Amino acid sequence: MVNKKYLLLASLSSLLATQPVFAQEGEMQTAKWSGRDMTYRGQSYDVLDSSYVPGFRMKQHRKFMNHQYAFPAKPRNMWEVGVGLGLYNVSGDVPTLFPWNAKGGALGFHAHVRKSWGYVFSTRLQYNYGVAKGLEWGEARNYRYNTAWAQYPGYAPEFPAGSGYPASKPVFYNYRMEAHQLNLDLIASLNNIRFHKAKSGVSLYAFLGLGALAYNTRVDALNSANQEYDFATIVGSTPQIHENRKEIRDKLQAAMDGTYETDAENERDRRRPSIFKNKTLQFAPSVGVGAQFRLSKRINLSLEDRVTMPWDDDLLDGQRWSEQTPGSPVQSNQNDGINYLSLGINFNLGNKRKNVEPLYWLNPLDHAYNELSYPRHMILPDPILPDADGDGITDQFDKCPGTPAGVAVDSHGCPLDTDGDGVPDDRDKQLITPTECQPVDADGVGKCPCPDGCGQAVSSCGNIMAGSITFDNNASKIRPTSQAQLATLAAQMQANPTCKVVITGAGNGSKIQQQRSWDRVNAVIEYMSEKHGIDRNRFIFQYGQAGDANGVMYRSAMPGEEGPANVAPPFPNLRRN
């Protein structure tokens, strides 16, 4: 039993010993200067708002808010989806036909989904569909190894001289390629981190993609009667020079039926796998650049160019043989590529109360610059407000620096002048000079007939100096600086036990000001009674007078001056404790 008691006692001691440690770890360091404006003034998002922070990052957010970690948690951000159209063409051996010179040529479509993982990098999954067409304006005869043309007996490819074969017949290379492309792109945003601007309406980016290309290329080698074309007759005597290329193409397109019935030369099921029955499957890396134009937080337009470089493939346009060696063609030395220039519209999807825009639209410096301009979160030192003359008014706002010690001042730091005659109360031998007796002399004595005893202390109550104390706006709590003044007043009253003191509160512009004036006079009297033991009945309670609404004045009562020490509050419902 004794052992159990010792064990229980040891356990409780250990638990109590660890309490300060837990309290220290969980202590929240708050930013000083409470009451500062917490309005978010940036153009990105408020990093102090926890509604943007996913649950698994809340630990970091709490550390940031408690000033235990300097960096805010990354917010949730919206997904982007988009669609678009563009020019889709093959960069190969046969010149491209564009929509304005061939029906249904060089057109593409795409759809994508994109997600940002940071302020620079994002990934995108994109599907492209395109149809590219091409037509050569110069004749070819060295197509001996091109199976799409050499398989038809009506065509006669060129053979070496002296081989005994008949004269060759010209052909004009053409093609129609249909392609499906799926890409996974790594995108780098180039201009969202701005040092001299809050944000940009244009987002520039570059990307690198890996994907697969499934394509099928066909040529138009037979007419509507399934007979070979007589290209020599179609072109006629038109010289085949660069200046005549449009005329030659117009003649060819007018004569050809555009059915593209013949499979172009390909390596399907030999060097390349096939998919969808008749399409060559190819590994296809790509690169590109683009620009997005912001229309709103939800919608933007994009202009982009993608260059796809299928791996070691020169048959996208169905042609890979050069004409330099008559009768013995050799393969061209460059592979084919695909260029897709597109215009798209994109939409940002997600709950805007929990998700910010995609991060590539935001400037990560937004929080840093706004916190420097309008501190809301950083820990700031307490302000140092010097008061060289010790009158309770900081030097920054003291209009009368160098006031002698013990002289009562108003809220501007200037000596009190109760009767407004221009002579401070501490030197005024006639404290209340009637207006009709002013101006006064250097001692504050007016020119009207002086009553008996004027300028002389009529009683020992003259030893109680007049003064004023100032309260914070809309507050009734006595400042530490004012407590020293009231301690002096208490000492003077204790030295003159027969004297009364008038406590006067200013502020009569509204009900709130009148009630606050009452609150402050009552606070002074209660403080003097409770702190210094001065009988409450030695005070005369006055409030709602003209003057500085944040000030309370005190002075010794005139001979025969009486008044209540307790006054009912004017508006109890507005009272501030």
C-alpha to C-alpha distance for 421 and 429, rounded to whole angstroms: 11
Return the pLDDT at 23. Answer: 37
Q: Write phi, then psi, for 340 (nearest 5 degrees).
A: -125, 105
Structural tokens at position 520: 């402050």
pTM: 0.62
Structural tokens at position 178: 């249909």
Distances (CA, A) of 562 to 436, 484, 537, 540, 541: 25, 27, 10, 7, 10
| Residues recorded for the chain | 577
Question: Model confidence over 32-46: pLDDT tens digits?
Answer: 545 678 888 888 899
Cβ-in-10-Å burial (0-12, 13-18, 19+) of 473 comes to exposed
Count of C-beta atoms within a 10 Å radius of residue 99: 12
What CATH number does the domain located at 457-574 have?
Answer: 3.30.1330.60
Strand order in the sheet with 467-470: 467-470, 551-556, 501-506, 539-545
Residue type at 364?
P
Return the pLDDT at 417. Answer: 80
Distances (CA, A) of 39 to 45, 49, 74, 376, 548: 12, 12, 21, 8, 31
C-alpha to C-alpha distance for 355 and 76, rounded to whole angstroms: 5
Three-class DSSP category at 269: coil
Return the pLDDT at 166. Answer: 62
Count of C-beta atoms within a 10 Å radius of residue 54: 13
C-alpha to C-alpha distance for 571 and 518, rounded to whole angstroms: 9
Return the pLDDT at 522. Answer: 93
Return the pLDDT at 395. Answer: 84
Return the pLDDT at 154. Answer: 81
Under 8 Å between Cβ of 184 and 124: yes
Distances (CA, A) of 518 to 62, 109, 134, 256, 545: 44, 78, 95, 104, 10
Four-way CATH pick for 79-349: 3.30.70.260, 2.40.160.20, 3.20.20.70, 3.90.850.10? 2.40.160.20
Residue type at 331?
Q
Q: Write phi, then psi, for 382 (nearest 5 degrees).
A: -60, 140
Return the pLDDT at 441. Answer: 79
- Positions of the chain with pLDDT under 50: 1-2, 4-31, 33, 457-458
**Which is nearest to 358 in space by CA: 115, 45, 48, 193?**
115
Question: Model confidence over 61-110: pLDDT tens digits?
Answer: 999 999 999 999 999 999 999 999 999 999 988 999 998 877 767 899 99
Residue type at 62?
R
String of b and e for 20-52 (b: at least 16 CB within 10 Å)?
Answer: eeeeeeeeeeeeeeeeeeeebebebbbbbeeeb
Q: Write phi, then psi, for 86 (nearest 5 degrees).
A: -175, -175
| Cβ-based neighbours of 13, under 8 Å, separated by 6 or more | none
Residue extents of the structural domains in the chain: 79-349, 457-574
Say if strands 107-116 and 79-91 run parallel, antiparallel, or are unpaired: antiparallel
